[in-house]
Amino acid sequence: MKKLYTCTLLLLALFGGAFVSPASKAGGSGEEKAFGTNVGATVNDFKLPDAEGKERTLASLKGQKGTVLIFISTRCPVSNAYNERMEKLARDYSARGMSVVGINANVTETAQDIKQHAAEKGLTFTILRDGGNKIADRLGAQVTPEAFLLNPDGKLVYRGRIDNSRSGDSITSSDLREAIDLTLAGQPVVKTEARAFGCSIKRAS
């Protein structure tokens, strides 16, 4: 009898909506498939405005040898700690056919914020504004900074952190650079995923 009682209570708690998880928030099982892109899957073309409001497509921005999409923020201290490293990445690799594109999917940050921030921090690569989180949802981006590396065929070959040191003082694993170097060399990426702690992307809903 006691067992039955405890279970009834539990059921009440459940139907009362006690449990919230990212999975249940994303909607039913059908919607869940639309959230996130697995490594190996192709990222289809998309269109987003840049900080000037001009519509840009992935097809027009992608590099001959591959494309790095990095979700960034103007306010997140973690993302800001990576400004110099992201800019260096863009400079180091653009001449080698690998383009770097920033995406700001924080609903709390305006196009003006993005433009001003890029100017102040000396970010010269293109930054797109994903105001409705459409692309963040499609790729499954959760934090800033978070990188997605596409090979020349548009296939996702790496997703995750830039490196393992937020401050940049003690980098022992340059995961994104290693993935880029392998992709440039036409070789498969060894470590295809590496997560890190960061600021959550402030989504529209």
Partner 1 sequence: MCAALTLVVGGELSTPVRGRAASAFAQKRRAGRRTPAHKPASKSAQPLPEKPVVREINEAGLKALLDANTASGHRLLVNFWATWCEPCRDEFPDLVRVTNEFKDDKEFQFITISLDDVSEAGAGVPKFLQTMRATHAPAYLLNATDQDAAIALVDSQWHGELPATFLFGRKGDLFFKHTGRIKPIELRKAIDASEWWCYDDKK
Residues that bind partner 1 (CB under 8 A): 2-4, 6-7, 9-11, 13-14, 16, 18-24, 75, 77-78, 140, 142-143, 146, 160-161, 164, 166-167, 172-173, 193-201
**Closer to partner 1 at the Cβ: 62 or 159?**
159
Of 81, 120, 118, the closest CA to residue 100 belongs to 118
**Closer to partner 1 at the Cβ: 88 or 195?**
195
Q: Position 91: which residue type?
A: R
CB of 102 within 8 A of CB of 86?
A: yes
We find the least distance from the C-beta atom of residue 40 to partner 1, in angstroms, to be: 18
Of 47, 67, 49, 66, the closest CA to residue 57 belongs to 47
Those residues whose C-beta lies under 8 Å from the C-beta of residue 43, and which sit 6 or more positions away, are 37, 58, 138, 139, 148, 150, 154, 155, 156
**Closer to partner 1 at the Cβ: 90 or 180?**
180
Distance CA 40, CA 157 (A): 6
**Closer to partner 1 at the Cβ: 37 or 126?**
37
